[in-house]
Structure 1
Amino acid sequence: MTSIDPSLLLSNKPSTKNTGSSNLGKDEFLKILMTQLQNQDPLNPMEDKEFIAQMAQFSTLEQTTNMASMLEKFINIQTQGDSIIKYSEMIGKRIEWKNSNEETGTGVVKSVKKGDTGFELEIENGSFISVDNIIKVSNADS
């Protein structure tokens, strides 16, 4: 009967650790492709079809990377809590506000600005109201 050497069993093998990224990025892909081109056999060069296929893979990888980057930027813009565009919809609207001293007022929004403490709305008399103090928004003609 033949016995199996225990050193050949997978459970007895030391574990290996990967020291690098397991993701192949566009820079690494291009380096591999250039190395492959530089070290190819001059008597048996790479087929045109193979080269075109690899370039198409590289182009696809680059476009996918660009699309992922743009999508990430788009998501960041969409998920930001406060933006001047969000408050620009209030221009021309009538607002009512109440400040920390319980003083109230109304006015039509003329412009929006980002101040040191947050966004502020300028009303027709030239004063600025913090968006945190707004209690009602309505059409200016109502």
Structure 2
Amino acid sequence: MNNLKTVSNEANTQSTRTSDKTENGTPIIMPGKETDKDLFLKMLVAQMSNQDPFNPQDPTQYVTQLAQFNSLEQMMNLNDGMEYLMGMTNGLLVNSAMSTATSLIGKKVEAYAPIEEPDGESSEGDSSEDSDKKTLTGVVEGVHMKDGIVYMDVRIDETKELKSIEYAALIKVSDNNTNTEK
């Protein structure tokens, strides 16, 4: 019974191995699957070892390919490093904005009013003339983050309505009890 299980396991393992490789043993890379740097080197070695002895390739082609591969590898490493650095920087900026916005709780602020979209949504808008934008004043009662953007919950002076305003729309800050600007 154990021998039968061993034979069937070996057959399953062998069929799995052969389905991932060609009849020559070359790995099959499926579309969309990630390939690694070693694949290029394996292909280059296979190309060198299987070349026609009566019509060998020019060695400068190999040197050129290796130089291109080296450049590609360095660009990939640089790209990975930049992505990591951007992620760290974005995290620091969001944390800093959240910390600063939190320190504004209880303070009177002036900020650009969100532009009302026809569908009822609001956005900060990016018009080129800041003087055309409407401003709101009120007291910050809280802060929150949504989709990586820091918002201040501001009680508007005119309407006493609580509005969420992007921290980036902030113009100036003053103490709630006094009119001194900070």
Q: Classify the TM-score, shorter chain.
A: 0.3 to 0.5
Structure 1 length as normaliser, TM-score?
0.41
Structure 2 length as normaliser, TM-score?
0.33
